[in-house]
Amino acid sequence: MNSNPEWKVTVADASVGAEEIAVVGDVLASRWLSLGRQTRAFETEFAAALGADDAVAVSNGTAALHLAVLALGVGPGDEVITPSLNFVASAEVTALHGARPVFADVRSENDLTVDPRDVERLITDRTKAVVAMHYGGYAADLEALRAITRARGIALIEDAAHAPVVPTGLGTAGTVGDIGCFSFFATKNIACGEGGMVVARDPDLLARIRAMRSHCLTTDTTERMRTGGASYDVPAVGLNYRPTEISSAMGRVQLGKLDQDRARRRAVMAVYRKRVPLPLPFDGRPDDGALHLAVALLPETVDRELLRADLNARGVQTSVHYPPSHQFSYYRDRHGSTSRALPVTEDIAPRLLTLPLHARMSDDDADFVADAVTAGLRRAGRG
């Protein structure tokens, strides 16, 4: 992800090496590039890592969320509750089907996951599903959310894009709700360039998702190539959300490296928690999740863009996760999303700053970032 040669530390970087290069070469040599043996092996290995019975690989994380709402039959007149402090994908796949995304607040400055109490307040007779996003790789309060949704007969979708193979008190993230959705985008813990995965508690629901991944064709290309057949039926509407064999082969290697890479992320966060002179959300939690994001919370006296410019000049790349979805013009204009205040989100979002965190960082890199933040704060309004 280091596209600027002047960056000394990038906000994210894929941990890709000789093994990924080798397996991609093997796939290219095989000349079978889409939805084959590598994909099936990746599904099986990923499901085993989660403790799930099976999984369906897809082309990206948004495709995973889209298949989730499709499989649940979300449509016009329905509502889906989702945290505003999230990437916009969960809202857009809802709106795409004529349903209304209903934006929920997060819990606090130290817990940026969706607030179950706010979710419960927002439920109406039109609510079809609730999205629990595991922000930064830290699990949302699944116990409370599962109790709320089960009591009301509402589906719980886990947006686990940040949280592959993260244990929770109720099971691995993504396996507690009705459907779990994962992303293997280039910046994620498991980085395949693009890619995603879906798991579901109900095997019939997962079978429906598997069919919809490839146009609901009754026989897929692999089977037709193997048997020489050419006929198939289409009993329902589907899409082309197939992954490539290249991304699946990479995913298998990345899954095998996950513990090692996460240990490096843990070491970087230990430096940050010791040396960065800012609150770091989720501090003090007994679990450290997937360590996907290192997010700091700025005081109101600091100009975030001035600080980002200062860090940029020092060679430290930063980002913001996320601009609140309810404030985007599409959702504001079409869904009246600003008619209801989200006080915690609206207070926190302008003060969030994402610092570099990835498995290619050394402790010296983390010290460099901490020093740069300390110096930058003096110039940006604090100290």
Answer yes or no: are the C-beta atoms of 98 and 337 closer than 8 Å.
Answer: no
Question: What is the spatial distance between Cα 214 and Cα 80, in angstroms, rounded to a whole number?
Answer: 25
Whole-angstrom distance, CA of residue 81 vs CA of residue 72 = 14
188 is catalytic: yes
* 179 phi, psi to nearest 5 deg: -135, 140
φ/ψ of 142, rounded to 5, equals -70, -30
Report whether 194 contacts 59 (CB < 8 A).
yes
- Among 128, 188, 257, 274, the active-site one is 188
Q: Tell me the torsion sign for CA atoms 268, 274, 277, 282.
A: positive
Classify residue 156 as exposed, middle or buried by CB count within 10 Å of its CB (0-12, 13-18, 19+).
buried
Q: What are the backbone angles phi and psi of residue 132, rounded to the nearest 5°?
A: -105, 110
User: CA angle, corner 282, sides to 114 and 286, nearest 5?
Assistant: 110
Residues designated as active site: 188
